[in-house]
Structure 1
Amino acid sequence: MKQRSYLLLPAAILSVFPTALFAQEEPNWVDSQHHSIRTTLHDWANSLDGWIGDTDPNRPASAGLRIMLDSEWNRYDRFSIKPRIRGKIKLPALKNKVSLVFGDDELDNESRDKNRIGSTYAVPLEKNKRYDRKQAREDNASLALRWSETTKRLGIKTDIDVGVRAVNDIYLRFRAAKEWQLTENIRTRLEQIYRYGAKSKHYLRTNFENNYAQNDQTFIANHLHLQYTNDFDEERTSWGNSFYRQHDFAEYKRLNYGIYIGGNVKNKRFDLNQYGPFITWRQPILRRWLFIQPELHYYNDKAQDRIHHLGAFLRLEAIF
């Protein structure tokens, strides 16, 4: 089907598209609308900041917004799409440490993952269903106040969120992260996330990453995560490991390629359920604030009796 063909374009092909396709055009109606939305967001942020307390002209409120359209295809689950948003409003009236975050909160948990499957959050839609309006609405309905702090002595960055997600799931989320620069080229990062929701119950995730910088534009990394969920109806512990290389190019372009392995943890045993290579490319398209991010991967799935098969993922993202 023609409408699906763009999903199967590998990053290498996209990188050699005609330069004009990714060139920055002269400002037009699209740019004026983008500027208008950014201005509106900052006006809302300052209005909210002024309603909360006294404002400081030297420390105005600010806002950022990401709007994404994720598309995915494989021969088993077929084609599906999912819209996602994530925004943040800094409120200096509540001290610089407090901000308002909204949208799909799972994006914060995935921020260190370099491949689609590594996030382990993806749940296939029902057979022959391409889009789930109810799921998309609930996933993007998170709203929370976030307190951010960095301890100068220990160098630990922490976030504490109190809010509501999936319309009526009141939750508390805690995140702590620390980074060690072991040598000039090697650094290690450890991150712990815990969330408890009135409906979603327990969510626990540990991210452990080792990074070796080959030069200013290229590094090799190994990212390991452990994830535990328990909503009383279902308890699951899973793990995943991505070994990859990343190249950072000019004009916000990025290439990742590597191998992912992962599975479940049962009776303190790490089962290997899936493994295979992946390649991801990200770059602006037409505008500096509009990004395209295709991914190709070749994974199996023992739990579902799926042999190695080609899968594709595509994200279109606008940043305001």
Structure 2
Amino acid sequence: MLSLLFFSQGIYAQENTQVNDKNQRTTKLPADSDCVKANNANKVKTDDIGWMEKLHSTVSDSVFQSAVWFDNFFIDENSEQESPKTTARIRLGWEPKARDLGEFDTRFRIKVKLPHLKDKVDLILSDDDDLDQSYLPLESVNAKPNNENDHFSAAVRITHSKSSNRRIESRIGISGGDIFVRAKHERRLNWSENHSFKIEPSVYYFLDDGLGAKLLMEYDYQIDKTSQLRVNYSVRGSNSFSGIRWKHGFYRLKQLQQNAASIMALQVEGERNGENGFVIDKYTLSYRYRFSAVKEWLFFEIEPFVEWPEEENYTTTPGLALRVEGYFSKGY
């Protein structure tokens, strides 16, 4: 199947925990994997590189040294020193739309794999919406901008079981000043060379919001080596709101060049069994173009979109998102 890693995962709110089957094709795209090449910049003498490479080296080294310090707490006296792996992403964006031209978006995300905990424990620090259960994989434009001041989250992720088509994990941490725990089971089924289906149930508990649960289902159809159709659906409920929230996503993913790809998306979200019965909150139609330029670790996005929100009586609301992201990685 088409990997399109830079759209999955983690890219906005969702970390890429998709389990790839051996039948999946590997397509080279501007993704986190390209950070491996970018690491070679760290081997160049600082006297011979420009300010951008110095910045990349400084950020990568700073995150890596912090990870080494943290990992040292788990070393046995008779164990050999091992190197952790760190990845960091910093994103700046401007997402103006009709009646709201001042929508700016800044995100960071740091993930650390700790070898002395048998690579089953990750430390994740971010200010993105990775813990927001309202998001779908591949979703980019914010569903409902969060105006709270405290977005920071820190979590320890424990992988209990992992195979080519199955993953069980749990998290414990703090997000927006609220302590939480979450457990998730991901299962993927593949048949022939063109079809794939994923089911992902999860349960979570926040001290302030109470107990909640979510079910995500996703179907992929491989058109050819460079194109894929994807349909996903999520439904969730929680003590923090009445009714059941649902969301559909329809996508066409396309690799355009060696360092560029696009995604066309239609998303529909709403609520049922709540105070207002069945309601469609918003329709969103978008086209996202992503490419790598200037440096291998630097990525740009251009995404025109149109929204029809219920709160605006489904008035057509056009917008344009402009983003730049830097990836920083170091370790084994």
TM-score range relative to shorter protein: 0.7 to 0.9
Q: Which residue of 2 aligns with 1:243?
A: 250
Sequence identity percentage: 19
How big is the shift at 1:87?
Answer: 1.0
How big is the shift at 1:27?
Answer: 4.0
- Higher share of residues assigned helix: 1
Q: Which residue of 2 aligns with 1:71?
A: 94
Match of 1:88, as an amino acid?
K
| 1:205 paired residue among 185, 196, 214 | 214
CA distance in 1, matches of 2:55, 2:303: 29
Q: Which residue of 1 aligns with 2:114?
A: 91
CA distance in 1, matches of 2:99, 2:146: 10
Seen in structure 2, the aligned counterparts of structure 1 residues 109 and 170 have a Cα distance that, compared at 3 Å, is closer
> Deviations for 1:151-178, whole angstroms, at most 9, x for unmatched residues?
55x9421221111121x31111212211
Q: Which residue of 2 aligns with 1:39?
A: 61
Residue 264 of structure 1 pairs with residue 271 of structure 2: yes
Count, aligned residues: 279
Match of 1:86, as an amino acid?
R
4+ runs deviating over 4 angstroms: 108-112, 267-270
> Deviations for 1:4-26, whole angstroms, at most 9, x for unmatched residues?
xxxxxxxxxxxxxxxxxxxx9x9
> Deviations for 1:169-203, whole angstroms, at most 9, x for unmatched residues?
11112122111102210001112233211123344
Seen in structure 2, the aligned counterparts of structure 1 residues 192 and 48 have a Cα distance that, compared at 3 Å, is same
- SS of 2:73's equivalent in the other structure is helix
Q: Which runs of 5+ in 1 are unaligned?
A: 1-23, 126-133
Q: Which residue of 1 aligns with 2:223?
A: 214
> Deviations for 1:241-300, whole angstroms, at most 9, x for unmatched residues?
121210124444220013222222235965333325211111123222121122222221
Q: Which residue of 2 aligns with 1:162?
A: 172
Q: Are the aligned partners of 1:230 and 1:236 in contact in 2 as well (CA < 8 Å)?
A: no
CA distance in 1, matches of 2:154, 2:211: 18
Residue 254 of structure 1 pairs with residue 277 of structure 2: no
How big is the shift at 1:147?
Answer: 0.4
Residue 226 of structure 1 pairs with residue 226 of structure 2: no
Q: Are the aligned partners of 2:282 and 2:314 in contact in 1 as well (CA < 8 Å)?
A: no
Match of 2:235, as an amino acid?
L
Seen in structure 2, the aligned counterparts of structure 1 residues 173 and 280 have a Cα distance that, compared at 3 Å, is same
- SS of 2:57's equivalent in the other structure is helix
CA distance in 2, matches of 1:220, 1:193: 25
Taking structure 2 as the reference length, the TM-score comes to 0.75
Q: Which residue of 1 aligns with 2:181?
A: 172
Higher relative contact order (CA closer than 8 Å, sequence separation 6+) = 2
RMSD over aligned CA atoms reads 2.8
| 1:319 paired residue among 322, 327, 332 | 327
Q: Which residue of 2 aligns with 1:130?
A: none
Q: Which residue of 2 aligns with 1:7?
A: none
CA distance in 1, matches of 2:225, 2:131: 26
Seen in structure 2, the aligned counterparts of structure 1 residues 230 and 284 have a Cα distance that, compared at 3 Å, is farther
Seen in structure 2, the aligned counterparts of structure 1 residues 32 and 276 have a Cα distance that, compared at 3 Å, is closer
> Deviations for 1:101-134, whole angstroms, at most 9, x for unmatched residues?
11135236588533435x64x2365xxxxxxxx6
CA distance in 2, matches of 1:46, 1:56: 13
Taking structure 1 as the reference length, the TM-score comes to 0.77
CA distance in 1, matches of 2:162, 2:327: 30
Seen in structure 2, the aligned counterparts of structure 1 residues 313 and 44 have a Cα distance that, compared at 3 Å, is same
CA distance in 2, matches of 1:314, 1:161: 32
CA distance in 2, matches of 1:258, 1:98: 34
